[in-house]
A and B are shown apart, each in its own frame.
Chain A
Amino acid sequence: MSATIALALAVPLGVVATPQEDLDTFRAYFEQRFPNTSMDDYVNGIYSIDPTSREEWVAIEEFAPYELNIDNGKALFETPFTNGKSLADCFPNEGIGVRQNYPHYDLERKEVVTLELAINECREANGEKPYKYSKGPIADVSAYMAYTSRGEKIEVEIPNDDALAWYERGRRHFYAKRGQLNLSCADCHVYNAGMYVRADKLSPALGHSSHFPVFRSKWGELGTLHRRYKGCNEQVRAKPFKPQGEEYRALEYFHTYMSNGLEINGPGARK
């Protein structure tokens, strides 16, 4: 890894680079690390840099386990609330093909809104109980909405300085070491992407969030991005944050921005 790139990525505080410059540096780093992987393919995670496990993944994708979740998500999405309205009423384009615009910075509320947060806020606004955020119905509905957006290019926007502050907060989280194992997200998914941690190969952070929610063989079920964030924090023996709390929303904002221009391919299947 060239010294210039390492330095640029290591800047923790103070805005030396703009988000677009961050993104360019990010992409350049991975292009150099994995010259045999095309930019489009990064949305396939570890399988974009590891041909061996890719074969097994292709076998699973023949009839992916998350298809059952998409069916259930569609049914949930289309079921009207008690008051007669439905999720379609809360989203642009009736919620179809909008996943790539999340998370987005809400100018009025002055906060980052993720897809899962928006789903639950819609439910609560219409007198329904909110779903739990890690798995179950929230994941199924999110999976259906992601599925309708497959092929759309991720487009996270940072409209003003307040939004930029959220982005910076997420970037700091990503590069900050934490937990008893003293590892940052970047330690595993940037500097050591493609290397082994025990029996697992580390996926590259570029294209990371495109395939969520994800069906993990380890979970034996579908789970959301914040469920994975929680798991990752716990894996380095750090206290996890609340799903859909500010910390993880800020992280998701930065994390997804780093995949801008890549295509949504959720829901996904991973080990």
Chain B
Amino acid sequence: MSSIKVRAKADGDVVTVKALMKHPMETGQRKDKSGNPIPAHYIQEVVCEHNGNVVMTALWGPSVSKNPYLSFKFTGGAKGDALKISWADNEGKSDSEEATIG
């Protein structure tokens, strides 16, 4: 199952994109029950592409909340257009999801 939920809506010329991603966003500051530090594990980059063009790149540190949320807006998009959201984390893992503007 994808770790990214996207909702994109066109209202006139402006498209609002909302995304919720499943990710622990561990800061590396926490310790587990035995007192061992839990290693940092967080999304560092989120890229959103519209019709193949990068519209927004988010650069994140570990202080973005667990299961992070993101919203932004852009012009020049229309209902039916293709959107792609991808993330990459500090462990080299990544995921992406495609969505259609509604």
Contact between A62 and B18 (Cβ–Cβ < 8 Å)?
yes
Given A62-B18, A67-B20, A72–B69 Cβ distance below 8 Å?
no
Q: Tell me the total A-B contact number using a CB cutoff of 8 A.
A: 23
B9 an interface residue at 8 Å Cβ cutoff?
no
- Which residues of chain A are near B19, meaning CB under 8 Å? 63
A266 CA / B46 CA spacing, docked (Å):
30
A71 CA / B2 CA spacing, docked (Å):
10
Q: Give the interface size class of chain A.
A: under 10
- Which residues of chain A are near B41, meaning CB under 8 Å? none
Given A68-B20, A68-B67, A220-B66, A63–B7 Cβ distance below 8 Å?
yes
How far is the CB of B81 from the nearest CB of chain A, in Å? Answer: 20
A10 an interface residue at 8 Å Cβ cutoff?
no
Contact between B67 and A71 (Cβ–Cβ < 8 Å)?
no
Contact between A65 and B20 (Cβ–Cβ < 8 Å)?
yes
A96 an interface residue at 8 Å Cβ cutoff?
no
Contact between A63 and B1 (Cβ–Cβ < 8 Å)?
no
A8 an interface residue at 8 Å Cβ cutoff?
no
Contact between B1 and A71 (Cβ–Cβ < 8 Å)?
yes
Chain A contacts with B in 41-74, Cβ cutoff 8 A: 62-63, 65, 67-68, 71-72
Contact between B5 and A71 (Cβ–Cβ < 8 Å)?
yes
A220 CA / B69 CA spacing, docked (Å):
14
A218 CA / B7 CA spacing, docked (Å):
26
A207 CA / B67 CA spacing, docked (Å):
28
Contact between A62 and B1 (Cβ–Cβ < 8 Å)?
no
B22 an interface residue at 8 Å Cβ cutoff?
yes
Q: Which residues of A contact B (CB under 8 A)?
A: 62-63, 65, 67-68, 71-72, 75, 220
Instruction: Jot down 9 A-B pairs with beta carbons below 8 A, ordered by A.
Output: A62-B71, A63-B18, A65-B20, A68-B5, A68-B20, A68-B22, A68-B67, A72-B1, A75-B1
- The 4 A-B pairs with the shortest beta carbon distances in the complex, nearest first, are A63-B20, A63-B18, A68-B22, A65-B67
